Amino acid sequence: MLAPSSTPAPVWRGELLDWYAATARDLPWRRAEFAADHGAWGTLVSEFMLQQTPVARVIPHLEAWLRRWPTPSAMSNATPAEVVHQWSNLGYPRRALWLHRAALEIVERHGGVVPRDVPALLALSGIGEYTARAVAVFHYGDRHPVVDTNTRRVIARAVDGRSQPGPPAKRDLARMAELLPDDVEESTIFNAAMMELGAVVCTARAPRCEVCPLASGCAWLTAGRPDTGDTRRRQARFEGSDRQARGAVLRALRTAEDHRRAADEVVADWPDPVQRDRAIDSLIADGPVAAVGGTLMLPR
């Protein structure tokens, strides 16, 4: 657990906590019954799905997933093909394979119980600085800084007076730690509230400063919302990309009978055959596709 900070509390902390208590969205993973029904596994699965995927798209998939595989042990008995298929169109199917591998690791190394320690969580497949602390904080209630894209944007604006955060950096964790309340239960709410504010008020494109609980204490708003530049890395174009080709190949296998197709029939009409072959090869290398002879399939 994290040691208390000696830095003074931000003036807006009380406003943020009050605002969260009054307006937080009623999301499935925030309900008491969700924790009661699914335990830390439910939180872990939700965080995997939420990596780079919008809340609204995750919700229906999460319920279905937990119904099918209610525990790490249950999922450890599934095949990679089953998890990739169940992952459906959530995107980044490698996350499904990582989640499956993490379930196996939880069974092997932790007796089927999702660990509480951040280092143990970090050692699991597909879990990084964000997800490890999200599980430790939002399920187990421990005191750690949780830093995601929302948190970084709120800190950039409210504390640093900048219009956009810089690219993610190791120092972000320490910045958040300085803001965290000493009280354990308050720190959990604070983590959630920073993310919530970034998600619904302090948004990337059109922040709603008129309704922001931090308004009077926000360095950026107080300075007149100056454009301080944007050093974030731009996403590569999707249309015509290898990612698009990979997505098309995998979709073809997901929707195919028995999850298999003859290799020369899969997206046979792809405009760039070289790119198509490269996509297939990289999917095989990454794991979500297996090749036997001339047949492509989801991996057994």
Partner DNA sequence: GACACGTGGCG
Partner DNA sequence: TCGCCAAGTGT
Instruction: Say which of 33, 47, 82, 129 is annotated catalytic.
Output: 47
89 touching DNA, by CB under 7 A: yes
Burial of 88 (0-12, 13-18, 19+ CB in 10 A): middle
Q: Which of 169, 174, 223, 292 binds DNA (CB under 7 A)?
A: 169
Task: Report the nearest approach of DNA to the CB of residue 191 (Å).
Answer: 10
List the alpha helices (DSSP H) in the chain. 13-23, 32-50, 55-68, 72-76, 80-87, 94-110, 118-122, 129-134, 149-154, 171-179, 184-200, 219-222, 242-255, 273-286
Size of the site for DNA (CB under 7 A): 64
**Token digits of residue 259:** 């999850």
23 touching DNA, by CB under 7 A: no
Q: Which of 16, 40, 41, 51 binds DNA (CB under 7 A)?
A: 51
161: alpha, beta or left? (left if phi > 0; alpha if psi -120 to 50)? left
194 touching DNA, by CB under 7 A: no
116 touching DNA, by CB under 7 A: no
The site string for DNA over 128-167 (x = CB under 7 A, - otherwise) reads xxxxx-x-------------xxx--x-------------x
Q: Cβ distance 80 to 287 under 8 Å?
A: yes
188 touching DNA, by CB under 7 A: no
Task: Report the nearest approach of DNA to the CB of residue 66 (Å).
Answer: 15
126 touching DNA, by CB under 7 A: yes
Amino acid letter for position 106: I
Query: Could you confirm whether 47 is annotated as catalytic?
Result: yes
**259-292: b (≥16 Cβ within 10 Å) or e:** bbbebeebbeebeeeebbeebbebbeeebbbbee
79 touching DNA, by CB under 7 A: no
Q: Cβ distance 175 to 153 under 8 Å?
A: no
Nearer to DNA, 136 or 159 (CB): 136
Nearer to DNA, 55 or 219 (CB): 55
CA-based nearest residue to 17, from 274, 270, 210, 190: 190
Nearer to DNA, 243 or 260 (CB): 243
* Residues making contact with DNA (CB under 7 A): 27, 29-30, 46-47, 50-55, 57, 89-94, 98, 125-132, 134, 148-150, 153, 167-170, 195-196, 198-199, 203-206, 232-239, 241-244, 246-248, 250-251, 282-283, 288
Catalytically annotated residues: 47
